[in-house]
Chain A
């Protein structure tokens, strides 16, 4: 059964709530503890980016069923300034703020699928999927 849920991502409290919502879904889908931890950590990185760089936005949480496979897809979307140079921001250590620059690259490594679409002046959409 495919299901989805939308959540606001506007504050650091929302980042905590997103972590908890993702954890609950991952548990429900039967993810192992390590898989749960990976997707929750990736979600935390992306949610923080949405708040800190995107000026807030929302996340769509989708549970996926493709034949025998079960997965969780998280799509973070903001209407912030967008990203000029996607290649650059994917590099570890690159940061435009005060962070470590591990957010996007780290979230990608912690996921099975990763997609980013961004237009300067329009916003950014990042989607990650983890299959059980």
Chain B
């Protein structure tokens, strides 16, 4: 069965969505991620959507669900790499991804995850 690969570091899970996902594939990713968070005690999830040309309400909802589910499982989700045209369209569509943390790129997303897990002088939310 078709799946989106999930990479694992010592603390985090990394997902790079590189295909135009159909809805079932998005649902599978949601289930796989929650499984792996629990199995590996991951504290953070980084989702790279820099190659996604379209985020419609279904994919947007999936991203929101992953963020909410991982929070319940004591993990943080950061979405990185959203294209400007996608951001403009999402907001016009009426979806501003409330509750989803975002960063411009993978490096900044990793920083954000590490800061929120290990704390910094300006940490706390």
Partner pick for B93 among A12, A13, A16, A41, CB 8 A cutoff: A41
**Main secondary structure on A side of the interface with B:** helix
| Contact sample, A vs B, 20 pairs, CB 8 Å cutoff | A12-B22, A19-B54, A34-B88, A37-B53, A37-B83, A37-B86, A38-B88, A40-B53, A41-B56, A44-B54, A44-B58, A45-B57, A92-B94, A99-B61, A102-B57, A105-B94, A106-B92, A106-B94, A109-B94, A110-B92
B18 at the interface (CB under 8 A from A): no
A125 at the interface (CB under 8 A from B): no
Q: Are A15 and B23 in contact (CB under 8 A)?
A: yes
Tally of B interface residues using CB under 8 Å: 23
Q: Are A100 and B86 in contact (CB under 8 A)?
A: no
Partner pick for A20 among B20, B23, B60, CB 8 A cutoff: B20
Given that A44-B54, A106-B94 are known contacts, is A100 also in contact with B60, CB under 8 Å in the complex? yes
Binding site for A on B (CB under 8 A): 20-24, 53-58, 60-61, 83-86, 88-89, 92-95
CA distance A40 to B2 in the complex (A): 24
* Smallest Cβ-Cβ distance to B59: which chain A residue: A44
**Which A residues are in CB contact (< 8 Å) with B61?**
99-100
Given that A106-B93, A106-B94 are known contacts, is A99 also in contact with B22, CB under 8 Å in the complex? no
CA distance A29 to B74 in the complex (A): 47
A48 at the interface (CB under 8 A from B): yes
How many A residues touch the partner, as a band?
Answer: 20 to 34
Within 8 A of B (CB), among A4-21: 12-13, 15-16, 19-20
* Smallest Cβ-Cβ distance to A37: which chain B residue: B85
Q: Are A48 and B22 in contact (CB under 8 A)?
A: no
Given that A40-B53, A102-B57 are known contacts, is A48 also in contact with B95, CB under 8 Å in the complex? no
A33 at the interface (CB under 8 A from B): yes
